Amino acid sequence: MVFSSQIFLFYFLPTFLVGYFVLFKLGARHSYLNFFITVFSYIFYGWLEPWLVFLMLGSTLVVYYSGKLISAEGASRFQRNFGLGLAMVVNMGALAFFKYYMFGMGAFNTVIEKFGGEPFHVMTVLLPVGISFYTFQSMSYAIDIWRGTAPPVKNLATFACYVALFPQLVAGPIVRYNTVAEELDSRTHTLENFVRGIMFFCFGFGEKIFLANNVGIIADRVFAADAPGVLNSWWGALAYMFQIYFDFSAYSNMAIGLGLMLGFHFPRNFNGPYRAKSITEFWKYWHISLTSWFRDYLYIALGGNRVSKGRLYLNLFLVMFASGVWHGANWTFVCWGLYHAFFMIIERAHNKEALYSRAPKLVQVILTQVIVLFGWVLFRADNIGEAFRMWKSLLGLNAVSGADPILAAEIFTPSCVFFMGVAGLLSFWRFRSYDWCSEISTKRVILALVVFVVAVLALFTQSYNPFLYFQF
C-alpha cells in the first residue's frame, strides 16, 4: 500500500485515525495504542503480499530475543556477542537472500558459462517491500543496546510496534530505537502536533503528485529514447534528478507528518541537498537517516578518521560501496556508490573541500550538482551500457535519432516546462518544506489543505504514480 493511493487516503488512514483516537479518548494505555498501531501496520504492509508479514515478524522476534540475551543481567561477553551476532546474521542473511540472490546467481552462472559449464537454475525471488529499511532499524537496535547507547525494550509488543510503524515502514526515514524509545512508552498527543503533522503530510503529498509524478514522465520518456539529443538528454537527466528527490523527500515528509499525528518525532531526512557545494556536503543533506546509519555503524566501526590516510580512504570506499549495494542488486548501483566514493576520497584529501572550492559559491553548487546528475544517470540506467550511452548523449558524443524532434515536442510542453521550473526553484532555492511546515499559522494550514485537495483531484487523473524507493 502506498500513501498516494485511494485505498490509503479514503479507507485505511481515516479508519486508523478514528480508531486510534477513540481508544486514546477512552483512556487506553500506550501499550494498547501501540498494539493498535502494530495491527494496522501489519495490514498496511501485507496488503498486496500477506506472506511478507511473516518475514517481518520473524525478523522482529529474532532481534527482540537477541536483545534479551544482550541486555540480560549478568550476561557474559560471549552471550552478548552471540545475541548481537544472531541479530546481524539473520537480518543480513534475509536481506542478502531476498535482495541479492538472483543477482548473485546470475553473475555466477555467467562465469560458469564462460568456462563451458552448465548454468544453475535460478528461482525467482520476490523482493519484499521495505526490507532494507526495517532490517536496518532492527539491527541498529541490537547494536545500540550492545553498545549501551539505547535502553532495552520492555516487551515484545513495544518492539513489534517500533519495527512495524507504518508511516516509515517501507521507505524510511530509518528511525533508531533510542529516538522514539520514550515516545513508545509515553507520548504526548497535542492539537498543535496533529495540525503540524497534517501540514507535513499535505505538502509531502502535493510534492509527490504535482512534482515527482510530472517530472518523472519526462525522465521516463528520455531514458526510453534510443538516441536523444544533447538538450533532450540534459532535460531528461535533470527531470530524474528532480523526480528522485521529490519522490523520496515527499514520502519522508508524509511519514514525519503521520508520526506527528501519533505523537512520534521522526528525524529529518533531507535538508536542501541540491544546494550543496561539494559531494561530501551533498551526503550530509541527502537521505540523512541512511548516511548517519552507515557513519555510525560501519564507518566508525572501521576506525572512521582515526586511522592512517590510506585506511581512511579505504573506509570511505567501503562505506560508499555498501551504500551502492544497499540500494539494489545491479552493477549500476555498485558503480554509483563507487562513483561517489571517488569524489569523496578526492575531497577528503583536500580537507573535505572540492577541487573547485575557491570558485564562487554559485559555481561550486553548479559543478557539484553536475557531478550528482551524472551519478543519477548511472543510478537510473538499467545497465552500465545504457548509462554510458546516456553520458555520451549528455556530452554530445552520440548520433542523434531522427525521432528526437518528436521527443522534444513531448517533453517541452508548457506544462512540462512549468513543473520542471517549480521543481528547480524548490530544489535550489533556500525554501525548505520541512522548515516551512514546522511553523503553524492559519494561512499555512489553509494553504496546506488547499494543496492536498487539489493534489487529490489531480491523483484521479493520473495513471503514472510510482514510489521510486519502494524498490529499495
- Is 245 in a helix, a strand, or coil? helix
Q: 260 and 179 in one domain?
A: no
> What's the CA gap between 141 and 118, in Å, rounded?
43
Residue 472 confidence class, pLDDT cut points 50, 70, 90: low
299, part of any domain = no
Q: 371 and 241 in one domain?
A: yes
Residue-range definition of the domain harbouring residue 222: 193-277+354-471
Q: At residue 440, what are phi and psi to the nearest 5 degrees? A: -100, 135
> What's the CA gap between 292 and 244, in Å, rounded?
20
Q: What is the count of structural domains for the chain? A: 2
Q: 181 and 96 in one domain?
A: yes
In the block, residue with C-alpha cell 556508490: 337
134, 124, 125: which is closest to 45 by C-alpha? 134
Residue 120's pLDDT is 78
294, part of any domain = no
**Exposure on the CB side of residue 63, measured as CA atoms within 13 A:** 33
- Count how many residues are written for the chain: 472
Q: 203 and 134 in one domain?
A: no
Q: What is each CA distance from 276 to 15, 97, 160, 215, in whole angstroms?
A: 41, 36, 37, 22
Q: 450 and 395 in one domain?
A: yes
Average pLDDT over residues 243-251: 92
In the block, residue with C-alpha cell 510503524: 165
SS3 content of the chain, % helix, strand, coil (to 5): 70, 0, 30
For the chain, the farthest-separated pair of C-alpha atoms sits apart, in whole angstroms, at: 74
Residues ≥6 apart with Cβ < 8 Å to 143: 84, 297
User: In whole angstroms, what separates CA 444 from the centre of its chain?
Assistant: 27
- Cβ of 205: how many Cβ atoms within 10 Å? 24
Residue 244's pLDDT is 94
Query: 272 near 285, Cβ under 8 Å?
Result: yes
The cell numbers describing 127, all together, are 523482493
Query: Pick from 146, 165, 187: which residue ends a domain?
Result: 187
Q: 451 and 394 in one domain?
A: yes
Q: 152 and 81 in one domain?
A: yes
> What's the CA gap between 381 and 124, in Å, rounded?
22
pLDDT at 220 over 80: yes
243, part of any domain = yes
Residue 3's pLDDT is 85
What angle, 0 to 180 degrees and rounded to 10, lies between the N-to-C axes of helices 13-25 and 30-45? 170
Average pLDDT over residues 6-11: 90
Query: Pick from 169, 187, 205: which residue ends a domain?
Result: 187
Q: 238 and 152 in one domain?
A: no
At 90-110, the pLDDT tens digits run: 999 998 888 888 877 877 777
271, 471, 279: which is closest to 379 by C-alpha? 471
Q: 214 and 96 in one domain?
A: no
125, part of any domain = yes
Residues with catalytic annotation? Answer: 327
The pTM of this model reads: 0.91
Residue 440's pLDDT is 85
> What's the CA gap between 170 and 467, in Å, rounded?
10
At 251-261, the pLDDT tens digits run: 999 999 999 99
Query: Pick from 154, 169, 187: which residue ends a domain?
Result: 187
Q: 243 and 182 in one domain?
A: no
Label residue 266 exposed, middle or buried (CB < 10 Å: 0-12, 13-18, 19+).
buried
Residue 414's pLDDT is 94
**Exposure on the CB side of residue 361, measured as CA atoms within 13 A:** 4
Average pLDDT over residues 175-199: 90
At 367-405, the pLDDT tens digits run: 999 999 999 999 999 999 999 999 999 998 888 887 888
CA angle 103, 100, 87 (to 5 degrees): 165
Amino acid found at 304: G
At 304-342, the pLDDT tens digits run: 888 888 899 999 999 999 999 888 888 999 999 999 999
401, part of any domain = yes
> What's the CA gap between 396 and 228, in Å, rounded?
10
Q: 250 and 110 in one domain?
A: no
247, part of any domain = yes
SS3 for 93-119 is HHHHHHHHHHHHHHHHHHHHHHCCCCC
Label residue 338 exposed, middle or buried (CB < 10 Å: 0-12, 13-18, 19+).
middle
pLDDT at 469 over 70: no
> What's the CA gap between 319 and 273, in Å, rounded?
19
Q: 210 and 179 in one domain?
A: no
> What's the CA gap between 143 and 127, in Å, rounded?
25
Residue 117's pLDDT is 76
